[in-house]
Structure 1
Amino acid sequence: MEKTVVLYPGFAVSHFVPMMHLARALLDHGHAVSVALVDSAVNPDAAFRAVVARAAACMPSVRFHTLPLVEGTPTLTPDAQFVLRYLDVVGRHNEHLRGFLRSSRGVRAVVVDSLSVEALGVIKPLGIPGYVLFTSNAAVLAAFVQLPAVLAEAQTSFRKLGDAPVELFGLPPMPASHLFGEMLEDPESDVCKATMAALSGIPEADGVLVNTFDSLDVRAVAALGDPRCLPGRVMPPVYCVGPFVGGVGDEVASQRHGCLAWLDGQPDRTVVFLCFGSAGHHSEEQIKEISVGMENSGHRFLWVVKAPFSDDPDLDAILPDGFLDRTSGRGLVVRQWAPQADVLRHRATGAFVTHCGWNSVLEGVTAGVPMLCWPLYAEQKMNKLFMVEEMGVAAEIVGWQRGLVEAAEVEGKVRMVMETEEGRELRARASAHKEAAAAAWDDGGSSRAAFARFLSDVET
């Protein structure tokens, strides 16, 4: 009988893609893979539907199964109630997941997304081991599993603490303002309670796979293995199996993106790449500040622009008059999307201005590119802290904290990373992490060994 692992991905591109990289690793090690998906009608995000379609097309060995949509299921929209709706969707589909698992043969384990831990309550009573894929880093995982208890003991909400530090075992002091947005809500609110309940469920898994590698997250990995990290509870095994980087289905693209041809014509390490993730965009005022800063810096740049409420932004309308003409030749502005991993690996790319989404961070690390941090949402402020203080691969653009990064800071930070000794030190540390990332999945590498432990535990 074939050995099957069922994957239950989340409803966001940034969570789905690492799960598909895990699928490939499982296939390479002789396991059959089934992917259970909630009906796409729940998620209006066209980018998510597109990546699911590409994965199904380019991974014929993976069996994709759609769980029927439960009547009354809310539609997922990117607003303050997103996480609450997300968890509601997971709960409503537990019975369909149970039915699918009962009808499947040879299931050795189920791996669920980190926001779908409620499904463990369905999986484990069936006698099937249940694991979590945590798509951020080990430091954020260490924070997340500790925060429910910290909040329960606190005399106030995290929001009221402002920038006062939250002390967590094994981690640097973290300003309360840097926490996941849902954690800053009133502790008695539905969204905060639901978020904390979900985080509390992570240690109930039989193990947690993390999209990182040991040497990038040394302090946090050690903390997760220490009983003091989770007093009164037992943290399950943590397997650092990353880095899982790059898109899914990119290899079947019909042609090379034009921005790569433009990069071919630029000198080595001279281009600043600005890209803010699949859901990141800026106001027109902010876009104009970036424009002025990049123009005044004098450096080459490739900038992916997303405008609010527009799938096809009118660049002439939102950029300063004459900007495109004045920067022609040394700058290229791309609407909406560029093949980020390919851009970062290109010899011409010298720095990366990023929103600090973890997939983007890993793509920067594996390319050996120094980064400038401009967090926007989710756990990105936490990632920024670790990138700057622990990993040493980035510097912070601080204006995000005031709601507007001014042109002078854009110019100054770009000049710093491209021209100064501080920038050269960032590059050297990024290059060292690049080498470590490449070694992690080699024979004897830490991630290969961690994945082997995971497979061994599944078979036990």
Structure 2
Amino acid sequence: MASQAHQIHFVLFPLMAQGHMIPMMDIARLLAQQGVIITVITTPHNATRFKTILARAVDSGLQIHVIQLEFPSEEAGLPKGCENIDMLPSPDLIFNFFTATCMLQQPVEKLFEKLTPRPRCIISDMTLPWTMNLASKFHIPRISFHGTCCFCLFCMRSLYISKLLESISSETEYFVLPGLPDQIEIKVTKAQLPGARTTRLKDFNVQMMEAEVASYGIIMNTFEELEPWYIKEYKKARMDKVWCVGPVSLCNKNDLDKAQRGNKASIDEHQCLKWLDSREPNSVVYACLGSLCNLISSQLIELGLALEASKRPFIWVIKEGDKLQEMENWMAEDQFEERIKGRGLIIRGWAPQVLILSHPAIGGFLTHCGWNSTLEGICAGIQMLTWPLFADQFLNEKFVVQVLKIGYRIGVEDPLKWGEEEKIGVLAKKEDIKMAIDRLMDEGEEREARQKKAKELSQMAKEAVEEGGSSDLNIKLLIQDILEQASGGNPN
């Protein structure tokens, strides 16, 4: 198959958001390692974010090409140069951002006619439904990339089939998710579900679902040993065309790849490792709430004070943006950094998360439960303290805490809605956060059980991506399937 794969060309379309681009770049490398020719379509600013790591991949002999298209930001009502969701000056502009992505269809169609060798497959982020039109026009399969887990997809499909949501009017009333195995009882609210409260994007969501149904198959950043029942059920629903190829972060094997994954880190990796080397094993709390964290400053201050009050060593990542300046002002006035000197490390901006989590000093991961972060925690064998914010994160929290049993909840019940953060206010007080940190990190049977399970899952993850593992096999099966389609005719 390897020799055949050398003639096959896949075109990848990542959404311009860190949590979507990072796994897609890993998938590009995994496919290229099997001999596939890869073209990644993106925009100039986004290309710079993974330029270094892809350059190393190309130097190693992988056939990965990046084509940059101008992003029509101004035409869609965005500021000039606003090419990534994390660059949006206001959450109200998310509709404009997706409008801009749809405007890429025409220039991409012109580009497609010139690509050589002829593309045989599109792998597209699920939030770019217009790539289905492209696939139909050029008579090639579209594989949709899902940036979440099969548990989440199964839950949403089960709710859709059962029509349960039609009988629930309240956004905050808890109900039991239908159709789960082994008498697992998991309760959620409508507000906690993916896609809740996105009325302006309703038509766009319909387009995404239609493209999803029309797609040839699904590629997922998960692995079969992690969620076997849910993967089996989802495969049934998709006529077996589901390829689980994760955890894709494990293709980053050396410290340099781990440090540079996703963006240029805001801290020197050697400085970071030196700090971690000086700590006891399993003693450090790593707190990072993701690149789209929209918590208000008063809530972030509660988190900082809780980390301080825990009396444990910690790394705290504060994302760049307007909140960072507010936090800088507070830290200066409160002399926060002086008080935590020697015990706390603050990273302002992008953190080399995979590198940090893989260090033996890390004992707990305070996370927003974004799927990439969740999987990275699993790969590192780290127990988690869960603080979901929005989208699929509340379902991911249920999966981590109630299904996998490797996490402990801070107890946040209400999702954040972009643009209404001030109205929602503080969701977790210093005392509650500190108590949750203590419950996670204190020695005892509960911590021991979580750590034991986390280590077992970490080992399963590593075995899945090794030669002959389930994810390694699925990458090869996907390529074989596309080779058969290329020689056998039109899949659409």
Q: In the alignment, what sits opposite 2:126?
A: 114
Say whether the 8 Å CA contact 1:259–1:338 is kept in structure 2.
no
Percent identity, aligned pairs only? Answer: 24
Say whether the 8 Å CA contact 1:113–1:132 is kept in structure 2.
yes
Q: In the alignment, what sits opposite 2:418?
A: none
Judged with a 3 Å threshold, the aligned counterparts in structure 2 of structure 1 residues 395 and 159 are, in CA distance, closer, same or farther, namely farther
Q: In the alignment, what sits opposite 1:65?
A: 67
Cα distance in 1 for residues equivalent to 2:318 and 2:100: 32
Q: In the alignment, what sits opposite 2:468?
A: 444
Say whether the 8 Å CA contact 1:159–1:184 is kept in structure 2.
no
Say whether the 8 Å CA contact 1:294–1:411 is kept in structure 2.
yes
Cα distance in 1 for residues equivalent to 2:333 and 2:162: 47
Judged with a 3 Å threshold, the aligned counterparts in structure 2 of structure 1 residues 89 and 307 are, in CA distance, closer, same or farther, namely closer
Q: In the alignment, what sits opposite 1:231?
A: none
Say whether the 8 Å CA contact 2:75–2:100 is kept in structure 1.
no
TM-aligned CA deviation for residue 331 of structure 1: 2.0
Match of 1:409 among 432, 441, 444: 432
Say whether the 8 Å CA contact 2:273–2:356 is kept in structure 1.
yes
Say whether the 8 Å CA contact 1:312–1:336 is kept in structure 2.
no
Amino acid at match of 1:274: A
Say whether the 8 Å CA contact 1:268–1:349 is kept in structure 2.
yes
Cα distance in 1 for residues equivalent to 2:106 and 2:460: 43
Match of 2:96 among 85, 88, 102: 85
1:94-109 counterparts in 2 under 5 A?
Answer: 94-104=105-115, 105-109=117-121
Q: In the alignment, what sits opposite 1:30?
A: 35
TM-aligned CA deviation for residue 237 of structure 1: 0.8
Secondary structure at the counterpart of residue 103 of structure 1: coil
TM-aligned CA deviation for residue 69 of structure 1: 4.6
Q: Answer 1 or 2: higher relative contact order, Cα 8 Å, separation at least 6.
A: 2
User: How many residues are matched?
Assistant: 441
Secondary structure at the counterpart of residue 299 of structure 1: coil
Judged with a 3 Å threshold, the aligned counterparts in structure 2 of structure 1 residues 184 and 207 are, in CA distance, closer, same or farther, namely same
1:34-49 counterparts in 2 under 5 A?
Answer: 34-37=39-42, 39-40=43-44, 48=46
Say whether the 8 Å CA contact 2:8–2:119 is kept in structure 1.
yes
Give unpaired runs (5+ residues) of structure 1.
41-45, 228-233
Judged with a 3 Å threshold, the aligned counterparts in structure 2 of structure 1 residues 121 and 306 are, in CA distance, closer, same or farther, namely closer
TM-aligned CA deviation for residue 334 of structure 1: 2.4
Judged with a 3 Å threshold, the aligned counterparts in structure 2 of structure 1 residues 282 and 318 are, in CA distance, closer, same or farther, namely farther
Matched, 1:160 2:164: no
Say whether the 8 Å CA contact 1:145–1:200 is kept in structure 2.
no
Secondary structure at the counterpart of residue 215 of structure 1: coil
Cα distance in 2 for residues equivalent to 1:82 and 1:385: 30
Amino acid at match of 1:367: A
Q: In the alignment, what sits opposite 2:487?
A: none
Match of 2:154 among 138, 142, 145: 142
TM-aligned CA deviation for residue 83 of structure 1: 5.0
TM-aligned CA deviation for residue 394 of structure 1: 0.9
Q: In the alignment, what sits opposite 1:296?
A: 309
Deviations 1:74-116 (A, max 9, x none): 4363655555334423332222222222222232211001111
TM-aligned CA deviation for residue 307 of structure 1: 7.0
Secondary structure at the counterpart of residue 209 of structure 1: strand
Secondary structure at the counterpart of residue 404 of structure 1: coil
TM-aligned CA deviation for residue 223 of structure 1: 1.9
Judged with a 3 Å threshold, the aligned counterparts in structure 2 of structure 1 residues 278 and 449 are, in CA distance, closer, same or farther, namely same
Cα distance in 2 for residues equivalent to 1:173 and 1:200: 28
Secondary structure at the counterpart of residue 360 of structure 2: coil
Say whether the 8 Å CA contact 2:165–2:190 is kept in structure 1.
no
TM-aligned CA deviation for residue 455 of structure 1: 0.9
Judged with a 3 Å threshold, the aligned counterparts in structure 2 of structure 1 residues 325 and 81 are, in CA distance, closer, same or farther, namely closer
TM-aligned CA deviation for residue 458 of structure 1: 0.7
Deviations 1:419-453 (A, max 9, x none): 13212211111111100000001233111111121
Cα distance in 2 for residues equivalent to 1:97 and 1:416: 52
1:30-429 counterparts in 2 under 5 A?
Answer: 30-37=35-42, 39-40=43-44, 48=46, 50-60=48-58, 61-69=63-71, 72-75=75-78, 77=88, 79-81=90-92, 84-104=95-115, 105-145=117-157, 155=166, 160-165=170-175, 167-170=177-180, 172-180=186-194, 182-185=195-198, 189-227=199-237, 235=239, 237-245=241-249, 250=260, 256-306=269-319, 309-310=322-323, 315=328, 317-318=330-331, 321-399=334-412, 401=414, 403-419=426-442, 420-429=444-453
Cα distance in 2 for residues equivalent to 1:112 and 1:5: 10
TM-aligned CA deviation for residue 313 of structure 1: 5.9
TM-aligned CA deviation for residue 314 of structure 1: 5.5
Say whether the 8 Å CA contact 1:108–1:458 is kept in structure 2.
yes
Cα distance in 2 for residues equivalent to 1:370 and 1:30: 36
Cα distance in 2 for residues equivalent to 1:341 and 1:159: 41
Say whether the 8 Å CA contact 2:287–2:317 is kept in structure 1.
yes
Judged with a 3 Å threshold, the aligned counterparts in structure 2 of structure 1 residues 161 and 404 are, in CA distance, closer, same or farther, namely closer
Deviations 1:315-354 (A, max 9, x none): 4624773433333222222222321111111111110101
Cα distance in 1 for residues equivalent to 2:206 and 2:118: 34
Q: In the alignment, what sits opposite 2:420?
A: none
The TM-score, its normalising length taken from structure 1, stands at 0.86
Judged with a 3 Å threshold, the aligned counterparts in structure 2 of structure 1 residues 333 and 92 are, in CA distance, closer, same or farther, namely closer
Amino acid at match of 2:409: E
The TM-score, its normalising length taken from structure 2, stands at 0.81
Judged with a 3 Å threshold, the aligned counterparts in structure 2 of structure 1 residues 67 and 323 are, in CA distance, closer, same or farther, namely closer
Q: In the alignment, what sits opposite 1:230?
A: none
Say whether the 8 Å CA contact 2:31–2:475 is kept in structure 1.
no
Judged with a 3 Å threshold, the aligned counterparts in structure 2 of structure 1 residues 51 and 198 are, in CA distance, closer, same or farther, namely same
